[in-house]
Amino acid sequence: MRRHGAVGRRAILLVSLSLIVGPVALLAQVGHPPQSSPYRDIRRGHTFTLLGGYFFGDGGDFGMGPHDGPIYGVRYDIRTSRSIQLGLGVSYAQLQRIIVDPFVGLANRFSDPVDQSVTFAEIDLQFNVTGGKSWHRLAPFLSAAGGLAFGSGTSADTSGYDFGTKFYLAPGGGTRVFVTDRVHLRLEGRATFWKLDYPTTFQQRPVQEPETPAVIPGNNLDEWDTSWWVQAGLGFSFSL
């Protein structure tokens, strides 16, 4: 009887342990079965993205910098399934600006908007919030880009002002929406910071109307300008 009782106690102990160890083992796994998990692995490799959007610029305090207009571009990303990924981008914006003539009176000082195209070339560092996975097909991110903006010339402007080539910073954020494991939509909003420089001619009063104040009455011939940039794109993932 004692032997049978010992066997019974061992059986009860084994069953009890199995009831405890089983749920613990399940809890140690991912919180959802693979077929119903909201998380999906992002394909390893590289991404090529076609982009289109709109640039919102105010031209700075005097309106001579780039204004609003559409923007188009392409982007190449590596390490797209990691928390940190690196991107290279080139964009072309069809913008406008205002010509300010410092040599005439106030009535004729400001022109109507004229074309001012800008080409952007940048390096982008992106932090993927959900790492190498998407959540319900969404992969939100924060980004920080830096690069050069090349402005087109404006032959009608004889004031001496030229947008030229500017270094810019563009922090932003957005999300990728995965349609399939190879195709996704990219939605992004960003700020754009650059420095506008003005020639000394804008500190001079017009000869025809010397009582008219100069365009820039003080000594500050530069300013940091902030613009906004929204874009959407279609990305294609591939492996080399």
Write out pLDDT tens, residues 191-225.
Answer: 999 999 999 988 888 877 888 888 888 788 999 99
Query: What's the one-letter identity of residue 116?
Result: Q
Residue 239 and residue 46 in contact, taking contact as beta carbons nearer than 8 Å: yes
pTM of the model: 0.81
Give residue 32's pLDDT: 52
pLDDT at 8 over 60: no
Amino acid found at 73: G
Lowest mean pLDDT among 31-35, 57-61, 85-89: 31-35
The more confidently predicted of residues 234 and 103 is 234
Q: In this predicted structure, what is the pLDDT of residue 126?
A: 96
At 106, which amino acid appears? Answer: L
Specify the DSSP class assigned to residue 106: G
pLDDT, residue 19, reads: 35
Closest CA to 85 of 170, 145, 149: 145
pLDDT of residue 144: 97
Nearest of 184, 218, 178 to residue 62 by alpha carbon: 218
- E-strand ranges in the chain read 39-41, 46-56, 69-78, 84-97, 114-128, 133-135, 138-151, 165-178, 183-197, 222-238
- The closest alpha carbon to 149, from 132, 168, 135, belongs to 168
pLDDT tops 60 at residue 10: no
Q: How many residues does the structure list for the chain?
A: 240
pLDDT for the residue 16: 40
